Structure 1
Amino acid sequence: MSSVLYDAQGPRAKRRNIVFTAVFVVALGALLWWVFGTLKDKGQLEWALWEPFFSGTEAWSTYIWPGLENTLKAAALAVVIALPLGAVLGIARLSDHVWVRVPASVVVEFFRSIPVLVLMIFGLALFAEYTNVSSDDRPLYAVVTGLVLYNASVLAEIVRAGILALPKGQSEAAMAIGLRKGQVMRAILLPQAVTTMLPAIVSQLVVILKDTALGGAVLTFPELLASANTMSGYYGANVIASFTVVAVIYIALNFALTTFASWLERRLRRAKKSTGAVLKADDAGMPGTSATGTGGTV
């Protein structure tokens, strides 16, 4: 049976795919076995190196949890600021007014072109030179500043692309019934675009969470990855064990975030299915109705 996307495989293609799959599985198994044997020969699988994470809470309470708390704090602050800022910049780039569209485009293109690490370093120097922020808080402020400036610019492009991806008939029909541009954006375009933009937005939130590690590597920000580096030195150079635990934590956090986003996307799609109800003019807030107070004049 053929599909719109591809032709059905014949017997030879099926046999070839089975052979390729078997070869890949064998190669992957051999690679994993080699990695396991190498780690064992180097003594990295000794129980003494892994014991701090499974017996007692010292490693968790002293290193992992404080680092994770700083990571989540920086990521949460960056998300809370970058999401609305990115939405404003993305909508501003669609404005019909040149004095709004051009500055927003310049800001987005400028900060989107600079590596986030450079923005963090610049933020650290800025807070040290021109503010009274204490030296203990500067790394956090610098990390959040860099994440906000870069990711707000990327999110602005996601918002702009999500709105432009909608059929033009959506806005034209709304204009035809008398809605103003602000009402069209708020009531028609944005609610539909959110569902389309959600996967890309979640991917960018994952990037924000992971990029907090740059602050630990360069700005001495005590986030999760930097704590793992300190922890591995304290427990007898158990680098593999420490960074494996940290990697599992990052995977769990990002998996939880993407799972929640998938659930939210399904819920939004179900909520937007038509119920067959007909809206009145007052409910839509059309000009010339009691909702706008224009007294029937357009």
Structure 2
Amino acid sequence: MSDRPHTAGIAYVRHDMLSEQPAPSTSRGIVAWLRESLFSSIPYTLLTLLCLYILYVIIPPMVEFLFTDAVWTGADRAACATQAQGGMQPDGWFGACWAYVGAYTNQFVYGRYPDAEQWRVNVVAVMFFGGLVPLLIPAAPFKRENIVFMAIVFPVATLILLTGGHFAVGGLYVPLLIAAVLVLAVVFAFAKLSESDPMPGLRSAGLLFVALAVLLFILGFDFGLRPVGTSRWGGLLVTMVIALTGIVASLPIGIALALGRRSAMPIVRFASIVFIEFWRGVPLITVLFMSSVMLPLFLPEGVSFDKLLRALIGVALFSSAYMAEVVRGGIQALPKGQYEGAMALGLNWTQMMRKIILPQALKLVIPGIVNSFIALFKDTTLVLIIGLFDFLGQIQSSYSDPAWSSPVQSLTGYFFAAFIYFIFCFSMSRYSQFMERKLDTGHKR
């Protein structure tokens, strides 16, 4: 072994650890994000530059039209027309006429609903958002009471407030009796096929008919409100009524149709398939046209249905067919082991679907469900073809008013409609993403 002394600088052993050093400046902060997200490669860089150029071309003129050069106050079209057109703006001016939107806001929201009765619409709106917001907050208390309010109290109160109540409900007792017999027959048939006790179903049916009897009594009571026919409804009121009815009705009916399409009973499966494929094979505009024009031709003489009610039924049935396929996709995505595990626990079919299958399936298809809701909300504009003036229909009808006729009137109205629809649709989209993140617990440790 050599006894040559150790030479400093050639080798050493560190006795003390270095303190933690910051990451390189190119791997953190905005610079790192730009390199990784926008300029990570030559194709990405070219696409980023192209998108920036498109935004540069679109955004500045839009900002000028909507805000910089816009007219915010005025009494008539003169405020939004150039001097060559008989207005007050300089020649060559081109900006949004928000004064026109302000003058027509009442009509855009309420349609031709009487001014003295618009407080009823406002009360309905307060009830809706007051009940919906706590329902959408997972940590909010009294969830069961809130669900009962939104599912039972709110629809009945809305119907009475908006229409005035005091319906002639005597003719509903015969259909109610027929429905009772049909429900009892279905309960007994299902109990016989599944070899289960029919009494729980009978008790549920009894409670249902008691609730219907109470509902009929309430609807027949005179609350002293001025009747307002649906022909005078319009604007955002009609849009919300159609969209909410379609959304609320399509989910449970769609779930029932999805389960029916996968049922082991041939008759139930065949009926579900026929219903789904029929409504999916017909455009919504055709459904609305048939419900408004053709359906009255097949009704007995002297029997008529409200035009808005016909549209609500058509929209609900149409959207239910699409919802059924969305839910069926979630059910089929579950592995067979989920069914086998549920049956191994001794659960019957109802318990298995309610506690095991449907909770997982609905969680998987949240994006598809919300996508159907958003599409339904935007499709409400089609009711204009049957003479119902929804939000967009009221905007289009306002173009015939010569008091606000100007070259920028229609463009301003469409921008305003796009903004309102974007607010509602974007809100639904963001909430669905929130629920996806909250329920995405499969890979958490």
Match of 1:214 in 2: 382
CA contact (8 A) 2:64 2:95 kept: no
1:45 lines up with 2:94 in the alignment: yes
1:74-113, aligned counterparts within 5 Å? 74-113=242-281
1:110, distance to aligned residue in structure 2 (A): 1.1
1:147 lines up with 2:174 in the alignment: no
CA contact (8 A) 2:65 2:95 kept: no
1:260 lines up with 2:394 in the alignment: no
**TM-score for the superposition, normalised by structure 1:** 0.76
1:176, distance to aligned residue in structure 2 (A): 1.8
1:223 lines up with 2:390 in the alignment: yes
Match of 1:26 in 2: 53
CA contact (8 A) 1:52 1:58 kept: yes
Which structure has the higher relative contact order (CA within 8 Å, separation 6+)?
1
Letter in 2 for 1:232: Y
Match of 2:410 in 1: 239
CA distance, structure 1, for counterparts of residue 360 and residue 93 of structure 2:
51
Q: Which has the larger radius of gyration?
A: 2
CA distance, structure 2, for counterparts of residue 253 and residue 201 of structure 1:
15
CA distance, structure 2, for counterparts of residue 187 and residue 193 of structure 1:
11
- Identify unmatched segments of 5+ residues in structure 2: 1-35, 70-81, 83-90, 112-234
**Does the C-alpha gap of structure 1 residues 52 and 37 become closer, same or farther in structure 2, counting only changes over 3 Å?**
closer
CA distance, structure 2, for counterparts of residue 128 and residue 200 of structure 1:
35
CA distance, structure 2, for counterparts of residue 119 and residue 102 of structure 1:
22
CA distance, structure 2, for counterparts of residue 35 and residue 267 of structure 1:
37
Match of 1:249 in 2: 420
1:114 lines up with 2:285 in the alignment: no
**TM-score for the superposition, normalised by structure 2:** 0.52
CA contact (8 A) 2:107 2:394 kept: no
CA distance, structure 1, for counterparts of residue 43 and residue 256 of structure 2:
52
CA distance, structure 1, for counterparts of residue 46 and residue 399 of structure 2:
43
CA contact (8 A) 1:64 1:228 kept: no
CA contact (8 A) 1:119 1:145 kept: no
Percent identity of equivalent pairs = 27
C-alpha RMSD of matched pairs (Å): 3.0
1:273-292, aligned counterparts within 5 Å? none
**Does the C-alpha gap of structure 1 residues 23 and 79 become closer, same or farther in structure 2, counting only changes over 3 Å?**
closer
> What is the DSSP-based 3-state SS (H/G/I as helix, E as strand, rest coil) of the residue aligned with 1:95?
coil
Number of residues of Structure 1 aligned to a counterpart in Structure 2: 256
**Does the C-alpha gap of structure 1 residues 174 and 36 become closer, same or farther in structure 2, counting only changes over 3 Å?**
closer
CA distance, structure 2, for counterparts of residue 152 and residue 194 of structure 1:
15
1:189, distance to aligned residue in structure 2 (A): 0.2
CA distance, structure 1, for counterparts of residue 93 and residue 282 of structure 2:
39
